[in-house]
Amino acid sequence: MSDPILSELKTKLPDLIRRLEQIVPTACALYKKSSGTTIRVNRLQESVEPQDPAQGLVVTLWNGQSFFEYAFNRWEWPALEADLINRAKTAAASVDKTRPCSEIDPGPPLAKDFFTKVVQPPSAVSLNDRLAEARKRLNTALAIDPQVVNALSLLEDVTQEDLYVNRNKILFQTLTRVEIIMVVFVSDGSKVTQVHQGTCKNGGLEAVRFSDDEIRAMVADGKKLNAAERLSPGLFDVVTDPEWSGIIAHECFGHGMETDLYVRGRAKSQEFIGKSVASSIVNMFDDPSAVTEAGGFFFDDEGQLASPTHIIKNGILQRGLTDLASAHKLKLERSANGRREGFDRKAYARMTNTFFGNGASSKEEIIASVKDGLYLRHATNGMEDPQAWGIQVEGLWAEEIKNGKLTGTVYSPVIMTGFVPDLLSSITMVGNDCFISGLGMCGKGHKEWIKNTTGGPHLKMTARLA
């Protein structure tokens, strides 16, 4: 912990919390800091930029009925302490004496520092060498085909440091994450299509690789997409690749398992706990303790230690994902899903690494089983509808399958819509090749962007496409 601000806070925050808890029943504090470098090169522009420092402190006060938070990025002691004590008095005075108050469990005592395993720290490789690596990938893409009018090569590292303090806990974690993204822009003279791909993991530079073959495949896909026609709408037998499977897990189902929606009465899944929501070969997880994945961590932004949640077990819905407020309100067991976009944003119940579990079939077996259908790849985005369980997943690639073989005929773009339980119940084969993509960012609605990952194996199902 070389940061002098962190050292100071680690010393001062426990005493501050103790003083605040003389005024309100519960207080806690979270200091968040992220730093790192983004290297971005395209044919015409280059930048090597430090990440914007999301550095600041948020102090949370619970008056027995509601939370009060104060977030800031500049402080002078002891003026800050005096200010927070005044805010605690305001929070305490806001109690509605006609309503009951409750206590929040601060959890068992624990003081611990956690670190991700980093073999090759980004800072150990010179900026010049990292820039050269990004340029090399760019030049590879540009040289593949004259139809590649531009490309973007990005290499990024982020180190996040979190200090959480409440009456019983002093937790500190350092998470290092690295990311490679490639985007190719392919023109046929009248239309420019972009294809993106990449890899993102927690760890050092050793954790991410991106091969020339992958870049060549992106360019080939871009050329096919420029010639692709629109699909005639209909109901199809489809095979989803792991990326597309992951978006179904995350968008169509995962959001509806966030229990802050239960408090608000807007998640259909609440009625289905313990009931069948998918075919019996379907399993789904959220696992922040998979700490090498980009959505992983050791404790969440509310000091809850990470552990896996089995959301769907053999087709049966098990439990939701909690933040502190909803777990307290609904008297649910906590899971480590209380996450913030930054110190300046509220914590909500959020997913982490969310994915379908493996099944028994290979990708080849799944495709061979389809007489007449489509293979879906290059998912781009999805949108949740936790109350009505509607589906929207958009993507670039629907390739025709005839008699168990890919024909090379591609339709683009493509949108999948429908009703979640219908879709999940229609899954008849689950692949054995679960892959987790770390490229995604997730919003709560259209804001509160955080890093998480999605994934799964190949899945065979029936879906409405257009």
Partner 1 sequence: MIEKIKNAITGKKLSGWQIRETRETSHQLFLAKEERECVRSVETQLFRVTLYQRRKSAGARNDVLGIASFQIGAAELPALEKRIDEAIFSASLVNNQLFELPSQPESLPVVERMDPSLSVKTLDECEERIKKAVSNEKQIRLSAAEFFMDRVQTRLVNHHGLDVEQEGTVLETEFILLAESGSRENEYINRYKRRFLSDFDLEGEVKQSAQFAREATVATLPKTGPFPVLLSGEPLDHLFNPLVARASARLKYNRMVETELGSSVASPGEIKGDSIHVWHNALLKGGLGSYRFDGFGTPGARVRLIENNIVRAFLAEKRYADYLNVPVTGEEGNIEVGPGSIPFNHLLDPERLGGGADGDVLYHLQAFSAFEPNVMTGAFSAEIRAGFEISRKGVRPIKGGSVTGVLQEAIKDCRLSKERVQRERVLVPQGIFFKSLTLAGE
Considering the complex, state which of residue 52 and residue 103 has its C-beta at the smaller distance from partner 1: 52
Residues 6 or more apart whose Cβ sits within 8 Å of residue 337: 258, 286, 288, 300, 304, 309, 321, 322, 323, 349, 350, 351, 352
Considering the complex, state which of residue 9 and residue 459 has its C-beta at the smaller distance from partner 1: 9
Residues 6 or more apart whose Cβ sits within 8 Å of residue 308: 285, 286, 287, 288, 289, 290
Residues 6 or more apart whose Cβ sits within 8 Å of residue 25: 62, 63, 64, 101, 103, 104
Minimum distance of partner 1 from residue 366's CB (angstroms): 25
Closest-CA residue to 374 (of 222, 195, 237, 199): 237
Minimum distance of partner 1 from residue 122's CB (angstroms): 14
**What distance in Å separates the CA atoms of residue 187 and residue 382, rounded to the nearest whole number?**
26
Backbone angles phi, psi at 399, to 5 degrees: -105, 135
**What distance in Å separates the CA atoms of residue 341 and residue 276, rounded to the nearest whole number?**
33
What's the number of CA atoms in the CB half-sphere (13 Å) around residue 280?
Answer: 0
Minimum distance of partner 1 from residue 74's CB (angstroms): 4
- At 177, the amino acid letter reads R
Considering the complex, state which of residue 52 and residue 364 has its C-beta at the smaller distance from partner 1: 52
Considering the complex, state which of residue 120 and residue 381 has its C-beta at the smaller distance from partner 1: 381
**What distance in Å separates the CA atoms of residue 62 and residue 102, rounded to the nearest whole number?**
9
Minimum distance of partner 1 from residue 50's CB (angstroms): 5
- At 141, the amino acid letter reads A
Considering the complex, state which of residue 69 and residue 400 has its C-beta at the smaller distance from partner 1: 69
Asked if residue 464 lies in contact with residue 418, where contact means CB atoms within 8 angstroms, the answer is yes
Considering the complex, state which of residue 138 and residue 429 has its C-beta at the smaller distance from partner 1: 138
Considering the complex, state which of residue 71 and residue 368 has its C-beta at the smaller distance from partner 1: 71
With residue 244 as reference, give the H or E element that holds it: helix 242-247
Considering the complex, state which of residue 408 and residue 447 has its C-beta at the smaller distance from partner 1: 447
The DSSP 8-state label assigned to residue 136 in this structure reads H
Backbone angles phi, psi at 383, to 5 degrees: -140, 140
Minimum distance of partner 1 from residue 233's CB (angstroms): 3
Closest-CA residue to 163 (of 33, 291, 62, 75): 33
Minimum distance of partner 1 from residue 175's CB (angstroms): 20
Minimum distance of partner 1 from residue 4's CB (angstroms): 8
Closest-CA residue to 316 (of 276, 280, 372): 276
Minimum distance of partner 1 from residue 392's CB (angstroms): 4
Considering the complex, state which of residue 306 and residue 376 has its C-beta at the smaller distance from partner 1: 376
290-319: burial string, b at 16+ Cβ within 10 Å, e else:
bbebbbbbbbbbbbbbbeebebbbebbbbb
**What distance in Å separates the CA atoms of residue 366 and residue 358, rounded to the nearest whole number?**
13
Minimum distance of partner 1 from residue 298's CB (angstroms): 25
Considering the complex, state which of residue 2 and residue 22 has its C-beta at the smaller distance from partner 1: 2
Minimum distance of partner 1 from residue 41's CB (angstroms): 8
Considering the complex, state which of residue 265 and residue 408 has its C-beta at the smaller distance from partner 1: 265
Minimum distance of partner 1 from residue 9's CB (angstroms): 10
**What distance in Å separates the CA atoms of residue 181 and residue 210, rounded to the nearest whole number?**
9
Backbone angles phi, psi at 350, to 5 degrees: -135, 150
**What distance in Å separates the CA atoms of residue 191 and residue 227, rounded to the nearest whole number?**
9
Helices (H) and strands (E) in the chain, counts: 9, 25
